[in-house]
Amino acid sequence: MNIAVVGSGGWGTALALLLHENKHELSLVSYSKEESEHLAAALENPLLPGVALPADICYTADPAAVSGCTMVVVVPPSFAIRSTAEQIAPYLRPDAILVSATKGIEPETGKRMSEIVAEVTGKKVVVLSGPSHAEEVSRRVPTGVVAASQDRLLAEVVQEVFMNDRFRVYTSSDPVGVELGAAMKNVIALCAGVCDGLGYGDNTKALLMTRGLTEVARLGMKLGSRTDTFAGLTGIGDLIVTCTSMHSRNRRAGILIGEGKSPEEAMKEVGAVVEGYYAAKAVKLLADRMGVDMPITQAAYQVLYGGAPVGSALSSLMTRKKGSEIEDAGWSRAM
Annotation says 33 is catalytic: no
Looking at the predicted structure, is the pLDDT value of residue 67 above 60?
A: yes
Looking at the predicted structure, is the pLDDT value of residue 163 above 70?
A: yes
What pLDDT is stored for residue 330 in this prediction?
66
Query: 3-state SS of the chain: helix, strand, coil percent to 5?
Result: 55, 10, 35
Looking at the predicted structure, is the pLDDT value of residue 335 above 50?
A: no
Rounded to whole angstroms, the Cα distance separating 251 from 214 reads 19
Find the catalytic residue in 103, 185, 205, 284: 185
CB atoms within 10 A of CB 293: 12
Rounded to whole angstroms, the Cα distance separating 102 from 177 reads 14
Rounded to whole angstroms, the Cα distance separating 25 from 15 reads 13
Rounded to whole angstroms, the Cα distance separating 17 from 28 reads 10
What pLDDT is stored for residue 329 in this prediction?
58
- pLDDT tens for each residue of 208-243: 999 999 999 999 999 999 999 999 999 999 999 999
Q: Give one word for 267, left, alpha or beta, with left for phi > 0 and alpha for psi -120 to 50.
A: alpha
Instruction: Delimit the domains of the chain by residue range.
Output: 2-173, 180-318
Hey, CA dihedral for 75, 52, 139, 23, is it positive or negative? positive
- pLDDT tens for each residue of 174-193: 999 999 999 999 999 999 99
Q: How confident is the model at residue 271 (pLDDT cuts 50, 70, 90)?
A: confident
What pLDDT is stored for residue 193 in this prediction?
96
Q: Which segments of the chain does DSSP mark as H helices, in order?
A: 10-21, 33-42, 81-88, 113-121, 134-137, 152-162, 175-197, 202-222, 238-244, 249-258, 263-270, 275-290, 295-306, 310-318
Q: How confident is the model at residue 326 (pLDDT cuts 50, 70, 90)?
A: confident
- pLDDT tens for each residue of 236-258: 999 999 999 989 999 999 999 99
> Which range has the worst mean pLDDT, 87-91, 261-265, 273-277?
273-277
CATH domain 180-318 topology: N-(1-d-carboxylethyl)-l-norvaline Dehydrogenase; domain 2 (1.10.1040)
What pLDDT is stored for residue 206 in this prediction?
95
What pLDDT is stored for residue 332 in this prediction?
62
- Neighbouring residues of 204: CB distance < 8 A, sequence distance ≥ 6: 195
User: What percent of the chain is predicted at pLDDT more than 90?
Assistant: 91
Q: Look over the chain and give the mean of its residue pLDDT values, rounded to a whole number.
A: 94
Rounded to whole angstroms, the Cα distance separating 280 from 287 reads 10
Hey, CA dihedral for 306, 311, 314, 318, is it positive or negative? negative
First to last CA, the chain: 67
CATH domain 2-173 topology: Rossmann fold (3.40.50)
What pLDDT is stored for residue 324 in this prediction?
86
